[in-house]
């Protein structure tokens, strides 16, 4: 008996398999070795199934990049759930550094650059969207910290910008030094939290946030 069209859930699952397989192939083969044939074999589906959803390599890469970014934002947000504000900053900062300096993070930066070369300025839009989304998340966390009464930052929006610039700047320096040690990332994050909030604390900072 011939099956009809896949359900919405099945179609979404197929797209997910294609995107996951695409990332695995990209990690293993690089941009030069990335082909729909390899993705199809890795995902155990026909190449025609990929073409029915993505017209070309650039369209697939764009969907892959958006998929990765959305998953990362959800993961990083979950890292701080239920933690006191200062510990949430430490946990998320550590995770962001670990991600940016991982093979996945480095490849994602290359993917954004590739999209810029192949596209029509979409890369700038992607980078701006990532930056804006990050600022919103950081500002919300600062508002949450203010609400506890443990710190008082009068301009959370400006503080979020400074926080993000410092974090990204450190990641760039660390990448140049090829330092991928998560323990070192957490140690730096704790020092950064203590330094960043030391002038805003309304009570003495807790031991965990001030440990060098």
Q: How far is CA 119 from the centre of its chain?
A: 21
- Is 1-54 a domain of CATH 3.30.360.10? no
Q: What is the pLDDT of residue 21?
A: 97
- Cα separation, 13 vs 19, in Å, equals 10
Residue ranges per structural domain of the chain: 1-54, 57-210
pLDDT digits (tens, 9 = 90+) for 45-82: 999 999 999 999 999 999 999 899 889 888 888 888 88
Chunked in runs of 10, what are the mean pLDDT values of the chain (212 residues)? 64 92 96 95 95 94 92 86 85 92 90 80 71 88 85 91 93 72 92 84 47 38
Please report how the helices 103-118 and 122-148 are oriented relative to each other, as an axis angle in degrees rounded to 10: 140
Q: What is the pLDDT of residue 150?
A: 76
Q: What is the pLDDT of residue 178?
A: 55
Q: Do domains 1-54 and 57-210 have the same CATH topology?
A: no
- DSSP secondary-structure letter at 7? P
Length of the chain: 212
Write the class of the CATH domain 57-210: mainly alpha
End-to-end CA gap in the chain = 67
Do 87 and 209 meet the contact criterion of CB atoms below 8 Å apart?
A: yes
Do 150 and 85 meet the contact criterion of CB atoms below 8 Å apart?
A: yes
Percent of the chain, pLDDT > 90? Answer: 47
- Cα separation, 109 vs 152, in Å, equals 35
Q: Which residue has the tokens 């959803």?
A: 53
Q: What is the pLDDT of residue 84?
A: 83
pLDDT digits (tens, 9 = 90+) for 80-104: 888 888 888 999 999 999 998 988 9
């Amino acid at each position: 008996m011939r099956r009809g069209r896949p359900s919405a859930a099945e179609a979404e699952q197929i797209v997910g398999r294609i995107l996951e397989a695409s990332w695995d192939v990209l990690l293993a083969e690089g941009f030069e070795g990335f082909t729909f044939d390899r993705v199809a074999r890795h995902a155990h589906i026909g190449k025609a199934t990929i073409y029915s959803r993505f017209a070309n390599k650039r369209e697939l890469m764009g969907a892959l990049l958006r998929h990765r970014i959305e998953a990362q934002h959800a993961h990083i947000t979950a890292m701080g759930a239920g933690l006191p504000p200062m510990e949430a900053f430490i946990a998320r900062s550590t995770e962001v550094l670990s991600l940016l300096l991982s093979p996945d993070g480095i490849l994602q930066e290359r993917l954004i650059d590739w999209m810029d070369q192949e596209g029509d300025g979409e890369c700038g839009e992607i980078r701006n969207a990532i930056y804006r989304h990050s600022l919103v998340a950081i500002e919300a966390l600062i508002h949450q910290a203010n609400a506890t009464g443990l710190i008082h930052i009068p301009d959370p929006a400006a503080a979020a910008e400074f926080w993000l610039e410092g974090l990204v700047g450190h990641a760039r320096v660390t990448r140049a030094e090829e330092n991928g040690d998560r323990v070192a990332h957490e140690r730096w994050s704790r020092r950064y939290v203590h330094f960043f909030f030391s002038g805003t604390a309304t009570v003495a900072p807790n031991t965990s946030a001030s440990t060098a």
